[in-house]
Structure 1
Amino acid sequence: MRAAQSQFMESLKSTSSEEVDASTSGEEAYMSAEELLSEEPLVCSLCRDPNSKTPVSFMVLLQSAVDNFTNDALPGEVDTFLDFIKVQLPSTSHIQLPSTSHDESVVIPSIEMLEKNIYQSIQQDMQDNLLHSNSLKDYLSNLSSPSEGDLNKSQNDESILLGKYVESLSRDTSEQPSVSKIARNESTSSKTSVPFASFDGFGPVNCDGIHISSCGHAVHHECRGRYITSLRERYNRRIGFEGGHVVDPDQEEFLCPVCRRIANSVLPPLPGDFSQVHEQMMLSDLSSEVAIDFAGAHALRVAPALSLLGSAASMVGNGRILQGLSLLRSQRMQPSLEPIFRKLCKMYFPDRRDKFSESGRVSHAMIFWDTLKYTLISTEIASRGGKHAEGSVSGIETLYRELESSSGFVMSLLLQVAQSTRSENCLQVLLRFRGIQLFKESICSGVSLDQCTTDTGNQRGFVSTLLKHTGKEITYPDIQFWKRAADPVLAHDPFSSLMWILFSLPLPFLSSVESFLSLVHLLYVVCVIQALITCCGHNQVDVTKLGSSDRLIVDICKIKGESVAAQQYFVSHLIDSSWHLKDVIRRLSHPYLRRCALLWKILKSSVSAPFSDRSHQWDTSSFSMSDGGALECTTGPSVELKEIQELESMFQIPDLDIVLRDKELHSLSFKWFQHFCKASEVRKYGSVLHVTPAIPFRLMHLPQIYQDLLERYIKQQCSECKTVLTDPALCLLCGRLCSPSWKSCCRESGCRAHAISCGAGIGVFLLIRKTTILLQRSARQAPWPSPYLDAFGEVDIDMKRGKPLYLNEERYAALTHLVASHGLDQSSEVLRKTTIDSLFLI
């Protein structure tokens, strides 16, 4: 053991000297990934064996952040389907088998080949549709409200696909005897201590999403397992170990042996078939020439997007395709992915993890994809606070630099993992195909397909109703995802809708520039309509001054005035009444375009290792504070509009006037708004939709003079016990006054409890009497220097000197960026001062 430790320390010293030499060159951050990988091969950070052939995995940190199929079924499917229903609904045990007969000459391709064939069929069908439509008007006219025959066909396709889904689910769960037992005992032994949050769609229960980050170092799976076991044994025997004041071994937390940052899981690289998709993406570029279906270099590509959704929904419901898919056997997830999947399931479903995992209704790819989506969104938000020299680099380049500095390689790696698991078995494929059917009906026809099936009065005949009933009081993840897809498109964030549509489509669509551009345009129109609805309630629109060409604006203002749900759902507190309407709409669409740019950057990247050999040296607390505006956002309206123009040109989006005055889009937007109003009558959404511009993340606004803050909060009473707090702590996220000391009479006012309810375990508190900052991450606490300094730039801890203190904007901006970039557990300065409270580990 000592010899191994000595070898490790020698290698660590040599690695540190190499890193110091590498950090002297500022140009290395822009070296190609191939050069970096060739210079520094991946080595396990624990055993440091350069000759080992065992694959390594990157250490990562996961953080919680704020539907008459029997006529088309194969003979074996009827047995398995009825077995599934009899287990879930015992009252159906008397059902008899119908006679079935089918053509047995069905070719059984691989799932990858099947998706490729579906992709080619969709592309051919789209070309045929667009050839028969001379203009956008002709095509949109074919997407009027569905007739009764079309609706019946959609319901028939739905039942066929869902029948295959239930058959595949039953076939998979029949191999796990414990699943049937769990299903039968579900009503008598289910936990109800923590109910599901009232979010709409699929996502984690107690937070907005899961953020993934990595220091860039790797370990062997076996080495990590032995290391965790050793830490847990020492922890249980009360023997001290390195990082004992920071990590919780029961949660599989450990410090990276190289950089001493926290990790709680590993993510393996997956070289293989997915590299072919990346090669196709690298050969394509948005600046290259793309086929234009309608007149104009920057024509709106809504028609191709609608054609894509319609053709995809038709193809995935084809009986022969589903028949061949049903004959394919399921594959198990790769063992190297099981640790991170278990960790994510525990964070997504804290009280339902075992039931959901063993039920077979948790999609591996869906969880990985949702984690990627949230990490990408949070990266975009974190990049808003940076300052770039005007004229030197564009805002898009600043956005990409944030991607590089925040371990962006792990998102590229997570994308590969999500794509590799999307088609690992029939269940995953059918889940996605069902989603594309629901997206098509919601976007193209303005109809919630699942709601239509329950309104026809024939609930007993639809498989979707049976799937919902089998969940009893639980809404399974597959139903959550399908409800999200069937919701009105205006009810959700456009970028999230784009991500879920890409998730549902066959894999080869990620290599199609035309398809990506079309979908970006379609969801951009959704973003514009949401912004327009929001502006109608902020005195931005004077209907009396609008002409006949602005009919879309007039009609939306009229509908919103009659809809109480729309007035309450679309909210924005960051609209200046002095802004011009079109500038407001463009600024409200800015976050969507920035996230699309980041997504495109990830899709084009083939990097499966750190972007830079010094990526693990990046520290969010090391931003220079000497420059007065180093972290202060100075993006004015003109600079912001310039960046918006760059993004619009990048995605070939036409002028906003063309979008607002398009008569054909008028009817489509009207259909979307009517769909939202109709759905809101029968279903109440759990929250509101905040439509905001790309403003930087900010903590609570603090007064310039500390005396003002002291006089306001020093004598305030606790909201629970009504006594004056001896050591008040001001939450800088929401402004509530808390206490760092735990009391049984007012436990909800404690910093730890408040951080869970306010920031999903993350808390930033200003200690009023000490003037310092308390950083809370679940059970971990760490002090942070005071943002208030005296006239000479010195701190006055506990106010012992009694000098006037003034807010230092640079210090406060550095703290803000640290929180926005989820860097509290990635900052060496924070971790050195971190302690863990064992009281909360019980």
Structure 2
Amino acid sequence: MEYAQGFKKQMNKRIHLLLCFLLQVNLVLSFPAIHCQDFSGVSLGTGDLHLFHLVTMAHIIQILLTSSTEENGMDQENTSSEEEVAVLTLYKFLCQCTGSALKEISSGWHLWKNLKAGIMPFLRCSALFFHYLNGVPAPSEMEVSGTNQFEHLCSYLSLPNNLTCLFQENSDIMNTLIESWCSNNEVKRYLEGKRHAISYARESNKLIDLPDDYSCLINQASNFSCPKSGGDKSRAPTLCLVCGTMLCSQSYCCQTELEGEDVGACTAHTYTCGSGVGIFLRVRECQVLFLAGKTKGCFYPPPYLDDYGETDQGLRRGNPLHLCKERFKKIQKLWQQHSITEEIGHAQEANQTLVGIDWQHL
């Protein structure tokens, strides 16, 4: 029984690490797309650092809420360091936010030891991530495991050795965030012993599921009416592959004003659905459309093939089409890796006629 409980705690810690690290990767990689809509003057590097600090603080709260505070056999030092006092203060604030759910302790020594041990895997993963993202070489001291590796990781990642300083520097914002985290119903249920810390890992985002038979999409498009023309059938029904919304594309009736310029339904939809980047399927043309901003776009081969393994863009041959999972997986990979804009650039370099198309009207 004790072995099973210990194994469960270790698995929960690993899942916490994985989820926090995946959250950090997703935030950092998606930040440039969000940043393109913001003109506040904050650089991408500064934004990455703020995001990293935020996720680090969230992981610290996870560790303090889920780690055991019982003595682990190590001899406690007589003097309390600055880190121990600070982490004990933070823990007492968590006790206030959670009521009587957390066990009260009077010494921060074990808290600090648990925090350092729990945060180390996350710091190692983060150091590798930012090393390959930014190309900043790691100091040679980090390659040697030892008691000072924590300090070297903090220095490389621009973190203070006393991690609780992050909370002190952002106390107004973080106090509100901590209170909201602790008031979450699932957190309360965990602290009351009514559920496990993590029941399953979060699935990665993906595009919508497409039917195997293309005629299903044709039937769906034939039943689609333009939302702004009194029930008339849309001439160019276009399906958003991110959220599944059917749009009336390439039509004046559904044009909207965006930043002082008239744009089509698809272009306007990208700014609400994909922060300026969109993937669409033009149903009656059997053609995939990539859009990035108001001036960049390209056409991409559809994931539907006939019995001869060929696409039928424009539906000229009329052969039955079926979903090719490998082709759709390739499109999904482009979207998940934020490579749509790059793919558009390659397509426009290879075909200069794409540059002259008014993509904003689609």
The residue matched to 1:697 in structure 2 has which SS? coil
Please list, as runs of the form range in 1=range in 2, the aligned pairs for 1:173-212 lying within 5 A after superposition: none
Cα deviation per residue 1:388-428 (whole Å; 9 max; x = unaligned)?
Answer: xxxxxxxxxxxx8xx7xxx9744344999xx89979xxxxx
Structure 1 residues without counterparts, runs of 5 or longer: 1-61, 67-128, 147-292, 295-300, 309-375, 378-399, 424-428, 440-448, 451-482, 493-525, 537-549, 557-580, 589-692
Checking the alignment, whether the CA contact within 8 Å between 2:304 and 2:323 is kept in structure 1 is: yes
Please tell me whether residue 739 in structure 1 is matched to residue 248 in structure 2: yes
Q: Report the CA distance between 1:696 and its aligned residue.
A: 3.4
Distance, in Å, in 1 between the alignment partners of 2:186 and 2:298 is: 44
Aligned to 2:347: 830
Please tell me whether residue 411 in structure 1 is matched to residue 220 in structure 2: no
Cα deviation per residue 1:235-274 (whole Å; 9 max; x = unaligned)?
Answer: xxxxxxxxxxxxxxxxxxxxxxxxxxxxxxxxxxxxxxxx
Name which of 259, 267, 270 aligns with 1:752: 267
Distance, in Å, in 1 between the alignment partners of 2:242 and 2:137 is: 30
Aligned to 2:210: 702
Distance, in Å, in 2 between the alignment partners of 1:415 and 1:728 is: 52
Checking the alignment, whether the CA contact within 8 Å between 1:772 and 1:785 is kept in structure 2 is: yes
Please tell me whether residue 809 in structure 1 is matched to residue 317 in structure 2: no
Paired residue type of 2:336: A
Name which of 182, 194, 200 aligns with 1:587: 200
Q: Report the CA distance between 1:798 and its aligned residue.
A: 1.7
* Rg larger for: 1
Aligned to 1:533: 186
Structure 2 residues without counterparts, runs of 5 or longer: 1-30, 36-74, 95-107, 118-124, 140-154, 258-263
Please tell me whether residue 552 in structure 1 is matched to residue 158 in structure 2: no
Aligned CA distance change for structure 1 residues 720 and 435 (closer, same or farther; 3 Å) = farther
Paired residue type of 1:768: V
Aligned CA distance change for structure 1 residues 786 and 143 (closer, same or farther; 3 Å) = closer
Aligned to 2:112: 303
Please list, as runs of the form range in 1=range in 2, the aligned pairs for 1:117-156 lying within 5 A after superposition: 131-132=77-78, 143-144=91-92
Paired residue type of 2:192: L
Distance, in Å, in 2 between the alignment partners of 1:302 and 1:586 is: 25
Aligned CA distance change for structure 1 residues 775 and 307 (closer, same or farther; 3 Å) = closer
Q: Report the CA distance between 1:791 and its aligned residue.
A: 1.8
Cα deviation per residue 1:355-406 (whole Å; 9 max; x = unaligned)?
Answer: xxxxxxxxxxxxxxxxxxxxx99xxxxxxxxxxxxxxxxxxxxxx8xx7xxx
Cα deviation per residue 1:78-106 (whole Å; 9 max; x = unaligned)?
Answer: xxxxxxxxxxxxxxxxxxxxxxxxxxxxx
Name which of 314, 320, 328 aligns with 1:798: 314
Distance, in Å, in 2 between the alignment partners of 1:809 and 1:535 is: 42
Distance, in Å, in 2 between the alignment partners of 1:535 and 1:799 is: 56
Name which of 713, 721, 727 aligns with 2:229: 721
Please list, as runs of the form range in 1=range in 2, the aligned pairs for 1:51-450 lying within 5 A after superposition: 63-65=32-34, 131-132=77-78, 143-144=91-92, 302-304=111-113, 409-413=132-136, 435-437=166-168, 450=172
Distance, in Å, in 2 between the alignment partners of 1:412 and 1:763 is: 29
Checking the alignment, whether the CA contact within 8 Å between 1:767 and 1:773 is kept in structure 2 is: yes
Q: Report the CA distance between 1:792 and its aligned residue.
A: 2.0
Checking the alignment, whether the CA contact within 8 Å between 1:715 and 1:725 is kept in structure 2 is: no
The residue matched to 2:328 in structure 1 has which SS? helix
Name which of 279, 283, 300 aligns with 1:784: 300
Please tell me whether residue 487 in structure 1 is matched to residue 176 in structure 2: yes
Distance, in Å, in 2 between the alignment partners of 1:142 and 1:788 is: 56
The residue matched to 1:553 in structure 2 has which SS? coil
Cα deviation per residue 1:212-251 (whole Å; 9 max; x = unaligned)?
Answer: xxxxxxxxxxxxxxxxxxxxxxxxxxxxxxxxxxxxxxxx
Aligned alpha-carbon RMSD (Å): 4.9
Checking the alignment, whether the CA contact within 8 Å between 2:248 and 2:254 is kept in structure 1 is: no
Cα deviation per residue 1:626-671 (whole Å; 9 max; x = unaligned)?
Answer: xxxxxxxxxxxxxxxxxxxxxxxxxxxxxxxxxxxxxxxxxxxxxx
Q: Report the CA distance between 1:490 and its aligned residue.
A: 6.9
Checking the alignment, whether the CA contact within 8 Å between 1:743 and 1:750 is kept in structure 2 is: no
Aligned CA distance change for structure 1 residues 743 and 782 (closer, same or farther; 3 Å) = same
Checking the alignment, whether the CA contact within 8 Å between 2:296 and 2:355 is kept in structure 1 is: yes
Distance, in Å, in 2 between the alignment partners of 1:143 and 1:755 is: 43
Cα deviation per residue 1:188-214 (whole Å; 9 max; x = unaligned)?
Answer: xxxxxxxxxxxxxxxxxxxxxxxxxxx
Distance, in Å, in 2 between the alignment partners of 1:551 and 1:535 is: 5
The residue matched to 1:819 in structure 2 has which SS? helix
The residue matched to 1:797 in structure 2 has which SS? coil
Q: Report the CA distance between 1:717 and its aligned residue.
A: 1.3
Distance, in Å, in 2 between the alignment partners of 1:839 and 1:815 is: 20
Distance, in Å, in 1 between the alignment partners of 2:224 and 2:282 is: 14
Q: Report the CA distance between 1:733 and its aligned residue.
A: 0.8
Q: Report the CA distance between 1:435 and its aligned residue.
A: 4.9
Distance, in Å, in 2 between the alignment partners of 1:487 and 1:740 is: 43
Aligned CA distance change for structure 1 residues 303 and 822 (closer, same or farther; 3 Å) = same
Distance, in Å, in 2 between the alignment partners of 1:825 and 1:410 is: 18
Distance, in Å, in 1 between the alignment partners of 2:186 and 2:324 is: 39
Paired residue type of 1:791: D
Paired residue type of 2:92: S
Checking the alignment, whether the CA contact within 8 Å between 1:781 and 1:836 is kept in structure 2 is: no
Checking the alignment, whether the CA contact within 8 Å between 1:786 and 1:795 is kept in structure 2 is: yes
Q: Report the CA distance between 1:819 and its aligned residue.
A: 0.9
Distance, in Å, in 2 between the alignment partners of 1:782 and 1:730 is: 16
Paired residue type of 1:762: V
Paired residue type of 1:740: S
Aligned CA distance change for structure 1 residues 734 and 836 (closer, same or farther; 3 Å) = farther
Aligned CA distance change for structure 1 residues 696 and 830 (closer, same or farther; 3 Å) = farther
Cα deviation per residue 1:25-51 (whole Å; 9 max; x = unaligned)?
Answer: xxxxxxxxxxxxxxxxxxxxxxxxxxx
Q: Report the CA distance between 1:721 and its aligned residue.
A: 3.4
Please tell me whether residue 772 in structure 1 is matched to residue 292 in structure 2: no
Checking the alignment, whether the CA contact within 8 Å between 2:291 and 2:359 is kept in structure 1 is: no
Please list, as runs of the form range in 1=range in 2, the aligned pairs for 1:597-612 lying within 5 A after superposition: none
Percentage of identical aligned residues: 20
The residue matched to 2:192 in structure 1 has which SS? helix
Paired residue type of 1:131: E
The residue matched to 2:341 in structure 1 has which SS? coil
Cα deviation per residue 1:311-331 (whole Å; 9 max; x = unaligned)?
Answer: xxxxxxxxxxxxxxxxxxxxx
Aligned to 1:88: none
Determine which structure has greater relative contact order: mean sequence separation of CA pairs < 8 Å that are 6+ residues apart, divided by chain length. 1
The residue matched to 1:764 in structure 2 has which SS? strand
